[in-house]
Amino acid sequence: MCGIVGLYLKDPALEPRLGALFQPMLLAMADRGPDSAGFAIYGDEVEDTRLKFTLQSEDPGTRWGDLADSLRQDLGVNVDWFTNATAAVIKTDGQEADVRSWLAGQAPGVSLMSVGRSIEILKGVGHPRLVANRFGLDQMAGSHVIGHTRMATESAVSMEGSHPFSTGLDLCLVHNGSLSNHNRLRTRLQNEGMSFETENDSEVAAAYLTWRMNRGETLKQALESALDDLDGFYTFTIGTRDGFAVLRDPIACKPAVMAETDAYVAMASEYRALARLPGIADARVWEPEPGRVYVWQNAQTNREETGT
């Protein structure tokens, strides 16, 4: 079944409260997905010469400091880092490909969750409340966040199989539904140079968007292409460095509701996840139309909506 939620702040004054506003939204969807949960939060942006690598390990004995020191010495790069429960965020001026290759060879048992200038993905197995509390979600600040509560239907319950999935810089996706052509599409994308960490159909959807955008398409254009190339039932919420987007398939079997005020844009699988947001009584509330792309970008950019 699964539940998805997203919150994009148009009012920067709310950014210190992002996690506190978002956590009740995520927890309201716990009964739609009690197996595992995760979220991608955007904030604490690094300089344009650096990247953030969010890593997770299920081994509580992981020596993150030793890993950071080895990365610094082996690649000759600057490294800053901090930990959050089972995760670590590495900030470095190293090249993405070099750091990825080093992690693959030198950090067995460590999973790379996300790479970008702003994004941090944190996720895990267990009830969404446990996952949120583990990472201190309610204390986090940022500009926007998307999240997911999972009830597994097509792959094992694991940290790697939980959402969000990230396949490009600062881009990630959460998904409620299932894709019927993901195996064929995975092969096509592998032939185009994309790689995959799981068998999850949602990772294929994320990789598809990355592939399209790497070819020069905007997020809006990539999602419009997805309406032709992705078969199945889905509601997607996509996070980017600048904002987020929502898309339902042309039949719209999977639920979604949105709310917008002067201060924020929010989405969820069900209205009850939005009910505690400030000003919700005066918000514009609507159900996203089937096959229509909704994109919100930074506060200086007006809302963009396209229909098919």
Residues annotated as catalytic (active site), given as ranges: 2
Helix 96-106 and helix 64-75, axial crossing angle in degrees, nearest 10: 130
Which two tokens mark 113?
Answer: 């969750």
User: Which of 167, 125, 121 minimizes the C-alpha distance to 147?
Assistant: 121
Torsion sign, CA atoms 172, 163, 147, 111: negative
Residues ≥6 apart with Cβ < 8 Å to 5? 22, 25, 26, 28, 29, 146, 147, 148, 237, 266, 267, 268, 269, 273
Amino acid at site 124 = G
CA 183 distance to own-chain centroid: 22
Tell me the CA distances in angstroms from 14 to 8, 18, 118, 218, 250, one per residue in order.
Answer: 10, 6, 17, 28, 34
Torsion sign, CA atoms 299, 220, 274, 37: negative
| Bridge partners, residue 82, by sequence | 89
Amino acid at site 3 = G
Tell me the CA distances in angstroms from 284 to 23, 258, 271, 281, one per residue in order.
Answer: 21, 8, 12, 9
Task: Show the beta-strand stretches assigned E in 208-282.
Answer: 232-239, 244-248, 257-260, 264-268
CA distance 58 to 113: 13
DSSP of 78-91, one letter per residue? -EEEEEETTEEEEE
